[in-house]
Structure 1
Amino acid sequence: MKTEIAEIGDRIYRFSTFVPEIAAPAGFTFNQFLIAAPEPLLFHCGPRAMFASVSAAMETIMPVSRLRWIAFGHVEADECGAMNQWLAAAPNAQVIHGQTACMVSLNDLADRPPRALADGEVLDLGGPRIRYIDTPHVPHAWESGLIYEETTGTLFSGDLFTQIGNGPALTTDSIVAAAIAAEEAFQASALTPAIAPTLRKLAALEPKRLAVMHGSSYMGDCRAALLELADFYQQSHAAQTARA
């Protein structure tokens, strides 16, 4: 198992592990992101089986023991399977998530008590500033939430914009068509009335960069990409409702 490293923004590192057996023959990537700030933050922990590879990749940037914050989109093995391994390796690290995730899962699952953030709460990492955003049921889980790094304009979009295959770490080409193709293949999103308005709320941030968990990250007109994806989900929800 090999984890590739790329800097996709100022002090933002992508650790990407390609698994060819998933969605074969194209394969599938699992990406974690490090904000290498004075108080470093890891977004996505990865599955337990990937911990050795991803932590070795982080060691080339900084000691794992320096890690201060651990965050992820929702409670799922590929997002937080290795959470307690990271907590054991980084004695000063603390998990942060929304109040729902902490209440229903993380207060019990995390080996150290997590810190619950309110919707819109900002955490200063010593320069970089992350804003926590509740996104319930978007893309699927009740406790879903994302973070937005304000100084670089980076939205850590989690499972949103998932793509099949192993593209470049960062692209300026549109990723919307590939995200729609992946959604049609996996049908992973919860088609609720909230999904399109939530994406439009994220678009209002006008991010400059999307840090994507599965597939290439994107730099360009992120507002337009989010609005285009919102339109797709709105049409999908309308079609589902019409069939019911």
Structure 2
Amino acid sequence: MGPNISEIADGIYRISIFVPEIAPPAGFTFNQFLVLGDEPLLFHTGLRKMFPLVSDAVSRIMPVGNLRWITFGHYEADECGAMNEWLAVAPQAQVAHGMTGCLVSLNDMADRPPRVLSNGEVIDIGGKRIRYIDTPHVPHGWDAGVIYEETSRTLFCGDLFTHLGNGPAITENDIVGPALASEDIFYDTSLFYDTSLGPSIAPTVRRLADLTPRTLALMHGSSYVGDTVAALNDLASAYDKRLRDAMAEMSA
């Protein structure tokens, strides 16, 4: 299915590809985000095999060759599988990621040297300010991180709040319940285990709530413009309960 393009905040475009074969009958979306500015940024490259679809969608918004920054939540095929394809078509583009991601993967796997971002570092792309935030092991991957666009107050959540289906680009409906339900489906069917339950997960998600974002841009599912602070805190509380339940079960 071809990509769906939606502007979810001023100068921020969601490029969504729905794959009904994953987790049927609901299906699953893969979302990439283009942030416009003097130095445009792409968050998530998409799978390598999706590069023709995603690059065509970007070309409808801006010249692909003008892309300057490429970043993503962590080193994983759907997050950065097409990284080198993007570097090939955008001569000035550079991958930017946290220290762990660069040391363990990107220094070797990226066709051009990446820019190492420290926790809290801001890249001013001209009209937008992109803050990188380390979130190791949240929701998974020791190299995990998110970005926060300060001007529009958009938090790019990566795999947090992952939920099934091909919903609208933006929603004000509950996203915590669908995210937990989707995780239970993945667990029960052994499709994959999404979240690493550990002592850092709830505090990390609560720190993201302290940003008071206006929009939550999700990699899998609808972006959210409701009570974002409550959603993040409710997700943190749910993860905290699941961790405590798992520990109690192990000690029983």
TM-score scaled to structure 1, two decimals? 0.99
Deviations 1:159-210 (A, max 9, x none): 0010100000011112111111112122310000000000000000010100
What is the match of residue 107 of structure 1? 107
Show the counterpart of 1:49.
Answer: 49
Q: Letter of the aligned partner of 2:121 in structure 1?
A: E
Q: Which amino acid aligns with 2:182?
A: A
Query: Quick one: distance in 1 between partners of 2:82 and 2:181?
Result: 29
SS in 2 for 1:130: strand
In structure 2, which of residues 200, 209, 212 is the aligned counterpart of residue 203 of structure 1? 209
Listed as ranges, the matches of 1:30-41 within 5 Å are 30-41=30-41
Structure 1 residue identity aligned to 2:203 = P
Matches within 5 A, 1:209-224: 209-224=215-230
* Partner SS, residue 50 of structure 2: helix
C-alpha distance in structure 1 between counterparts of 2:47 and 2:9, whole Å: 24
State the Cα distance separating 1:130 from its structure 2 match: 0.7
Aligned to 1:172: 172
- Unmatched tracts of structure 2, length 5 or more: 187-192
1:92 and 2:92 equivalent? yes
- What is the percent sequence identity of the aligned residues? 64
Q: Structure 1: which 4+ aligned runs deviate by more than 2 Å?
A: none
Number of aligned pairs? 244
- Hey, what does 1:145 align to over in structure 2? 145
* Mapping 1:150-161, distance limit 5 Å: 150-161=150-161
Task: Tell me the amino acid that sits aligned with residue 87 of structure 2.
Answer: L
Correspondence for 1:193: 199
**Equivalent-residue separation in structure 2 for 1:241 and 1:228 (angstroms):** 20
Q: Secondary structure at the match of 1:146?
A: strand
CA distance in 2 between partners of 1:41 and 1:132 (Å) = 13
Between stretches 176-185 and 200-209, larger displacement belongs to 176-185
Q: Which residue is equivalent to 1:74?
A: 74
- The aligned amino acid for 1:18 is F
Alpha-carbon distance in structure 1 between the residues aligned to 2:185 and 2:12: 30
1:243 to 232, 236, 249: 249
1:157 counterpart SS class:
strand
Task: Give, in angstroms, the shift of residue 112 of structure 1.
Answer: 0.2
List per-residue Cα deviations over 1:23-78 (Å, max 9, x = no partner): 00110000000001111000000101100001000000001100000000000000
Cα distance in 2 for residues equivalent to 1:53 and 1:143: 27
Distance 2:238 2:225 in 1: 20
Q: Which runs of 5+ in 1 are unaligned?
A: none
